[in-house]
Structure formats: structure tokens, C-alpha cells
Chain A
Amino acid sequence: MEAILEAKGLCKDYEVGRDDKIRVLRDVDLKVKKGEFVAIMGQSGSGKSTLLYNISGMDQKTSGKVYFDGKDISDLSDKEMSRIRLTKMGFVFQHSHLLKNMSIRDNIILPAFKASKKPKAEISKDADELMIKLGIDRVGSHDITKVSGGQLQRAAICRALINHPVILFCDEPTGALNSSASIEVMNILNAVNKEGTAILLVTHDVKVAARADRVIFLKDGRIEAELSLGKYNPNIDNSHREEILLNWLSRRGF
């Protein structure tokens, strides 16, 4: 299958003090195919989130190339990159990062109105459907300070999906949630993936990573190993996926 996202020789340095630098990503090569669900795992400080933000164009890489849909995005202008982010990519963070002074519904609709890809009535319909699907249709008019963390995170997913992105970048999307809310969020992500949206997800949680088609293990800024788990099927018992993953990870000292 064709790659939607590809990194070649991706490096990232952080400046420490005036002259010192540390290299956080070292020559990372990574390919995410259309509709694929890839999880990135590794110890704290291994460069998981850095990889996610550099490969998505959110952060400025130090060197290497990143191709999105076959096109080099390294030298795009802010305007061009923003347009891609708005219309083709979706982001879900550990915290919802919704906008203050806006209701839940306004937060979800805003990117679609900004993108103006569809008539406004259609966008409103999409938003309604998404909110029903994610179970937050009743709190749509609420202020963001008036709803629970799980609801906020689902609203953030709605916002990420409203423009029908081709890829969803998730940074510890369940990190701030309790276990039942986590399961709900992951069910949603699997459903979204099933509909064709590729997902690149960073997590510590084995249960979450076991939902992915493929798991990448990062160590000291390098991809140390990869594990293919195959497509996740919600209708069967998936405990074996977690076992396989756990064994694989424990061999790597995780």
C-alpha cells in the first residue's frame, strides 16, 4: 500500500545551554501507509513525542526529509503547512487543548468553518453526527470548564476528525483519563481507523498500543525494533495481542 507519511534520516537536536546540543532523534526512517495504525513506544526520553511532532511538521526538524502524500513538506511555507494541518491532518493530545471562551460545539466546528471545504449546513450535520457517535451531543453548548475530562478528550477527537483527515496524530490520548474512559477513546480511534484514517500514536500503555497494526520501539532516538500485530478486530478476544506485545517489550527492557 502507498505511504501517506514517510520520514527519511530524520534528526532533531535540542539546544542545552549556550553551546551544547543533545540529539534526540537519530536518522529515523519511518513509513506510515494509508489507513495504517502505528503505535510508537519507548522509555521516557526515548524521543517518542519528538518523533511525532517532527514527522507531523508541527516542530522544526534539524535534518532529514519528511514526505506527506508523496510531497516533501520540509520547505513548505507556514501558510501551506497550516493548510495541510487544517485539511489533511488531525491532532489529539494528552490534554484536550480546547479553546477557552468557546463552547464544546464551537471548538469542534471551528476547523471546518475555517477550512470551508463544505457548505456550512453540511458541516453542522457532520458535527452533530460525530458528537452523537462520541456521546457528547448533550454537552455541545457547554463551556469547556463545565464538562469532564473524558468528555473534553472526546470533543478533542471530534475536532480532530471534523475535516476528515487522512492521518490522525495522537500523543498519549488516554494519558489523562481513567481506564473506562481510555477504553472508550480507543474504541473510537479503532473505529475511525477502520473507516480509512491512518493513525500515528505515541503511548506508554500496552493496552493502547495493542490496538495498533504495528508497534515501533524507540530507544535513544533510534528505531530499535518493529512488531507487526495485524488489524485489530473488536469482535474477538484480543488479549493475545497484549501478551505478544508485552513479551516483545520485556525483551527490550521495557
Chain B
Amino acid sequence: MTGTMIKKDFARNKAINIIQWFFIILSAFLMASGAMVINKSFASINKLFAIARPPHFMQMHTGDINQAEIESFAKSLDYVTQWQISEMLNMDGASIGFVKARGDITERINLSDSMMDNGFVTQNKHFDYLLNLNNEIISISDGEIAVPVKYMRSYGLELGDRVIISEDNLYMEFVITDFVRDAQMASSLASSTRFMVSVSDYIRLKDNIGRLEYLIEFMLTGTDMIDSFSREYRKAGLPDNGTAVTYPLFVMVNALGEGIKAIIFVLVSLLLIFISVINLRFTILTGIEDDIKEIGTLKALGISHKEIRKLYMTKYKILSLSGCCLACLAAILCSGLFLADMELNYGKQELSLHDLVIPLVAVALVHLIIMYFCRRIFKRIRNITVVQALIAQDASGRKIRKKKAFGLKLLRIERNTAIPMNLFLGIRELIINSGAWLLLLLVYALAICIMNIPANLNNTLRSPGFAAYMGSSVSDIRIDLQLVDDINRKHDEIIRRLIADEEIKGFSDYAMCRYKMLAEDRVEEILIECGDYTDFDISFLEGRAPIKQGEIALSVMNARKLSLGLGDRIHLMLENGEESLQVSGIYQDVTNGGYTAKMIYPYNSKDVVKYTYFIDLKEGIPVEDKADEYAKVFSFAKVIPMEDFLVQTFDIVLEPLSQVAFVANIVAVFISLLITVLFLKLNITRSCSQIANMKAMGFSNMDIRLQYLFKTGITTLAGILLGIVLSDNLGEAMMGGLISAAGFGLSIIDFTIQPVQVFLLHPFMISCTAILAAWDCSKVVRQFNIVNLIRE
């Protein structure tokens, strides 16, 4: 009997069942894929790390180093197992070119536009190996080069292509013989990357171009020793004018790069499950209403509500189970597609039994969630009495009946004196059946959120005013001076030039110095920017900029790390003793890994790690030209127009974000279309007798279709409004949370909205989709005729 019932139901509601099945498949598929990506990522990262052996502690340094000093330091600590100093030659992207020969066509690519820092190295001796695509330690001969996989993917490079290094006095050509998989810099989030050449080629390069940087690397007995090691290192006063990086950070950066994709998969999957469940709720409830007589009869015959529920649940069990199985299979088959990037970065892994279990568990979870909600919805059967079912033929609960009675009273046709009849009937139906139409409203609100949130984030990160949120001043040009010899002489040179330049309206300069501070019982290092903050225009989350000596402002991440709040005191160890400073404000910062502080204090020039300059130009002076001019004059510094700085800082996010925003639009329109069709098809089919009655009374097909257009239109409008409010408020909070979790140093985001897009374009896309779907779905009313109804 169940089989016949289900077969009949599938035949009757083909389109509806297919759409529902589709949503289940899609959500289960994404969940399974997300789970697989997470699982595979960790496995692959571990495998790569096991072979490449990235250092537990690495200190970057430019300038002279004393090898003997480092050696004796390393030997003095029993938990240092290995150590090495490797050189890296940092090269300007403009000096690096790729030559691709494909048949008769030769293509030349230059890296001048690339935002990556490109370093040239030789293979390390003891650990931190560069691996090839087979996860083997690369060895290279003269004239050969191994290029980062990142470039292989971005520029479609192949083995045998050539790399040209050229500058005024040097021209070298290399053949690509391998692609580099780099445990330190494999992540798509890493902003620097390593090329590998032979020792003699490296010496020739070093003699001619590039800036030399040392990577001082240590392997310890375990990761638990890293903290105490880094304290010892600082205490020993060893070379440290660059960034120090530790093993957990390598793991995190790598995991995050791949993890973002998985998180998006899981989030979208949850969203689809939500849509599936509200869909199911709607179809199940309408199904119960349609079958109310049958349910009443079954109950009158003495069949328990549990058995009746089982009868109905079977259909949804079949839908969900078959959908989940198919999704699991699809996820396993398509895994290559989602894992391709990761496999390139970390190496291919064979499919193991474990890999099959993970998606299975994920889809089982989806199935269980769906079944749980189905069971809850079917609880309503228990509350239907035989009398209610057979005589009143009304499956609705008491609450709904009350609401309906109220609606009947309030929305009497005679009360309507102003609104056209079709519009009035539409509004009336919306109010009386608000529960059902709420489904559509929610879907449209969700669709708008899906469209607006990525778009808002995209616009916000690209807007120049956002600099104020990132710890940067809102200015035209930014200059960074760091990692150079004789930094203070170069600083004086820049200042002299800036003062003399008449095209400059004003500038401010800040010196980032390394200080020691007392944190509980130990000494910690802190980077503090010193300068004049009276006119500084960054936005403070709490408090304000330091305006007098004795005050300090902390970045959010520093405040969190040190557990300090507004008004708390911080103790710095200066040359002339200890100095206590009061926290005057907390701000967001994305520079220097998010850990910064600001104070007004006459700094000691030997402590300076970095100088930053913010320059405002006089009106009419082209920013790009000025930036180019300074880039030439200050070849030792990094000169960048503020807008480009933003794009570069968020490059890793902005590029995929634009894609996400685009895909989100398609997904939103697609979901709106599918659900509108599903909802209206069901609604219209169920209302066929009502429609036929109205037609017999004298309503034309156009009248009925107009009513559906009004109903859909009003729902769309309400949904869009709700969506805009939600995306603006909830979206900000959600994105703030996500970005904060991602560790960019931001915790609050105030969306910069592009009104045309958010208030016009997206609502227009959704309403057009909904209205067109309603117009098309309502075509079917032409077939409804009271004659057919009576004949049935």
C-alpha cells in the first residue's frame, strides 16, 4: 500500500519532488565535499611537512650576521636539534620574466605586476627542503630553475619553459626543470614565494642583483619548546630585524588557505539544508491538508498516528536517502575537482578507506537532520482529530483557525473601498495564509543576503576610507622603509626630500621600534609605532589616539593577547629604566600581523625596525605619477599609492571575493527561481478548485494571474526589505566575526555600501526572477475549469 501511495505521489507532484530532491542532493554534496576537503587538507599538510621539515623557529634578518655567535647560542640549548642559516635573494618582480613556447607562439610574462615577494634560494642542507611535484627533495644543475607551483598554476607554465632574469648589468636564462612545493609558503595565503637555482647560479645572481636576506632556522625537540626558545633568542641579542615565524604559524596559514574553501562549502550546505527544511515543512503540511480525509479515515479505522506518520515518512526517507547516497557518490567522484589546488600545493594522496568514510558520515548527518525535522513536522498528525478531519476537513491547528477567523473579520470584502479587487484579494490571501507565504519571504530575504553580504564586503575592503580601519592613515601615498642597511640615514634622506617637495600638502612619519615590556613574570617584545598622532585619522574601536607622553594605543590583537583594556597600564623597559604607560585607545590593524601599538615618545633610532610615511598631495597632483617618481628616488623603500596598498593587503581575499560575489548572485537567483516555482506550482495546484470557482463566477484568467503576481510581488518586496536589513546588520556582525577569526587583525567591519548594487541591482534581479517565475507558473490557470472539477 505504501508503495502505491508513494508512486502516486511522485507521479502527481513530479516537479515538486524533483526540486526537493535536488536541494537535498546539493546540500549533502556540499557537506560531503567540505568534509573531504578538510580531511584531505590536514592529511596532505602533515605529509608534506613530514618530508619538507619546515623549521620550528625562523628569524628573518637583513644585514650582517655572525655565524659563530649563532652557532654557540644553538649549542648552548640542549633542545635545539638542528640549525642552519640560509640565504634568500629578494628580487624585484620586474627583473623576472617567463618565456612560454607553445608551438609557433612564444609568450612572455613579466612579474612586475605581481604582488608576491620573490626570493631566490639554493636547496637547504639539513631541513626546510623545497620539494618537487612528486614530494621529492629537488636537486638542480646549473642553468636550471625550480619555479613555485603558484606560478605554474597562475601562468600555465610547463617543464621546459624558460625563466629570464634581467637587469641593467645582468642577463641570465634558466630552464624550468621542476616546480617547487614549499612547506613554508605553500598556502594560497602566503605572500612570498621561493625559486630554487644551483649554487653557482645563485652566486652569480647574488653578485649582481637583489637584496640579501638571511633565514636563520632552528629545529627543536618539539613544538612545545618554541615559546621558551624565542625568549632565549631575543635575550641573546642575536640578529632579528625581520619577522620571526614559528612552526604553528606555518601549519595555521596552510590550513587556513585550504580551510576557507571548506568553510564556505559547509556554510552553503547549512544554508541549503535550512531551505530544504522550510521547503519540506511547506510541502508536508500542504500534503497533510490535501489528504486530511484519508488521514481521518485511517484514524477512524483505528490506525495509530505513529503508523500513519510512518506511512508518510517513507516517501521523505526515500527522497533523503537516495539524494544523500547520490550526493556521497558525486562528492567522491568530484573530489578531484575541489582537491586539485590542494594536491598541487601539497601533493597527491591515494584514496583510502578513511576518505570514503568521511563523506559518508557527512551525508548521514544531512540525512539525520532532514529526518529529524520531518518527524517534527509530522507531529501535527497526532493533533488532528477524526471529527476535524472528516467533517470540517481542516488540518490546521487551533492557532491557525483563530488567525483565520480574525482575518475573515478584519479583511471583509466590503471594507475595501480603495484597493483594486485583484490586489485586495492577493493581500487578503497573504494575510490569511501568511504561514505558507512566509517560506517565500524567507527565501527572498536569504537570497538578498547571499547577494549583498559578499558584495558589501568586497566594496568595503576596496574603499579608500577603509584604510582608517586598518591602522593606516587616509592619505594618497604610503612609503614603507624597512629591511635595509643604514635605515636611519635613508630615513633622513626621505624626510629631506619630502620637506623640500612643493607638491606635497603634508606628511606624517612613524617609526616602528622594538621594545621590551614586562608581561606578568616575563619579558615580552612589542612593536610600537612612535610619532605624532594628534592629526591621526584612524578609527578607534575604543578610546582615542595617544596625545601625550605616557599614553599608548594598542591594536585589537595586542590588547587581546595582553588582556589589556582601556585605562590599563603597560610597563616598558627603556634604557633609562622602566616606564609605565596608560592604554588610551584600541584600534584595528592589519599591518605587521595585527600586533602593533602606537605612542608618542622620543624613540631611540637604533631600535627602529621600520619607518612608515603617509603623504598627502596638493590638489591636482596625480598620485600615480608621484608614487612612480618616489619609487625611483627611494629605490630602497616600498612606495605605494594608498588604493593599491589596500588591494595588495587584501589581494588574497579580494580576488576570490569578487568570484564569490559573482557566484553568489547566480546561486541567489537560482534558489529564488527554484523555490518560487516549487511554491507556486504547489500553491496553484492546491487552489485549482478555488481558481475554477472564481472563473465560474466571472474572474478572467488574467484576473487570477494578476492576483498571483501581486501575492508574489508583495512577498518579494517584503523579503527584499528584510534581506537588506539582515545583510546590513547581521552581515556586518557575521563578516566581522569571520574576519576576526581569520586573524587579519580586524574585529569590526562597518560596511561601505554601494547603493545602486544593494538597493537597486540585487533587488531588481530577485524581483524579476520571482515575477517572471510567477507569471510563467500562473499560466496553468487557463486549464482550470469548473467543468473538470465537477466531472472529477
Contact = CB atoms under 8 A, between A and B. Distances in A.
A71 to B, nearest CB: 17
A53 B421 CA distance: 27
B790 A114 contact: no
A82 B787 contact: no
Given A94-B790, A99-B690, A143-B405, A82 B700 contact: yes
A23 interface: no
Given A102-B408, A145-B392, A111 B698 contact: yes
Given A58-B785, A101-B408, A120-B417, A86 B697 contact: yes
Contacts of B695: 82
B780 to A, nearest CB: 14
A85 B690 contact: no
Interface of B: 392-394, 404-405, 407-409, 412-414, 416-417, 421, 428-429, 432-433, 689-690, 693-703, 782, 785-787, 789-790
B787 A103 contact: no
A143 B701 CA distance: 26
A40 interface: no
Given A109-B413, A110-B413, A143-B405, A97 B786 contact: yes
A99 B785 contact: no
A53 B787 contact: yes
A97 B688 CA distance: 12
Interface string A61-79: 0000000000000000011
Contacts of A49: 790
Contacts of A145: 392-394
Interface string A92-132: 01100111111101100111011100001000100000000
A159 interface: yes
Contact of B701 (A53, A78, A100): A78
A101 B404 CA distance: 7
Given A101-B433, A110-B697, 9 more contacts: A53-B787, A58-B696, A82-B698, A82-B700, A86-B698, A99-B690, A101-B432, A145-B393, A159-B697
A120 B694 CA distance: 20
A145 B404 CA distance: 12
A111 B695 CA distance: 11
A197 interface: no
A93 B689 CA distance: 13
A83 interface: yes
A100 B432 CA distance: 11
B432 A115 contact: no
Question: Which of B694, B697, B700 counts the most chain A CB atoms within 10 A?
Answer: B697
Majority-rule SS of A interface residues:
helix
A100 B694 CA distance: 11
Contacts of B693: 97-99
A58 B786 contact: yes
A93 B786 contact: yes
Nearest to B392: A145
Contacts of B414: 105-106, 109, 113, 120, 124
Nearest to A14: B791
Contact of A114 (B408, B412, B699, B701): B699
A90 to B, nearest CB: 9
A37 interface: no
B790 A99 contact: no
Contacts of A163: 698
Contacts of B432: 101
Given A53-B787, A94-B790, A100 B702 contact: no
Contact of B787 (A59, A87, A105): A59
Question: Which of B404, B428, B694, B790 counts the most chain A CB atoms within 10 A?
Answer: B790
27 contacts: A58-B785, A58-B786, A78-B702, A82-B695, A82-B698, A82-B700, A82-B701, A93-B696, A99-B694, A100-B690, A101-B404, A101-B408, A103-B408, A106-B412, A106-B413, A106-B414, A110-B697, A111-B697, A113-B416, A113-B421, A120-B414, A120-B417, A141-B408, A141-B409, A145-B392, A145-B393, A171-B790
Nearest to B697: A111
A83 B703 CA distance: 11
Nearest to B789: A97
A91 interface: yes
A85 B408 contact: no
A59 B413 contact: no
Contacts of B697: 85-86, 91, 110-111, 114, 159
A128 to B, nearest CB: 11
A103 B413 CA distance: 9
A83 B404 CA distance: 31
Contacts of B405: 143
Contacts of B702: 78-79
A13 B136 CA distance: 81
Contacts of A102: 408, 413
Contacts of A89: 698
Question: Which of B409, B695, B696, B789 counts the most chain A CB atoms within 10 A?
Answer: B696
Contacts of A86: 697-699
Given A59-B785, A143-B405, A145-B392, A97 B413 contact: no
Nearest to A53: B787
B97 to A, nearest CB: 71
B663 to A, nearest CB: 41
Contacts of A120: 414, 417
B426 to A, nearest CB: 13
A115 B412 contact: no
B404 A82 contact: no
Rank and list the top 8 A-B pairs by shortest CB-CB distance, nearest first. A86-B698, A82-B700, A85-B698, A59-B787, A106-B413, A79-B700, A53-B787, A97-B693
A105 B409 CA distance: 11
A254 to B, nearest CB: 23
Contacts of A159: 697
A58 B407 CA distance: 32
A113 B421 CA distance: 8
B413 A113 contact: yes
Contacts of A93: 696, 786, 790
B636 to A, nearest CB: 79
Contacts of B433: 101
A115 B408 contact: no
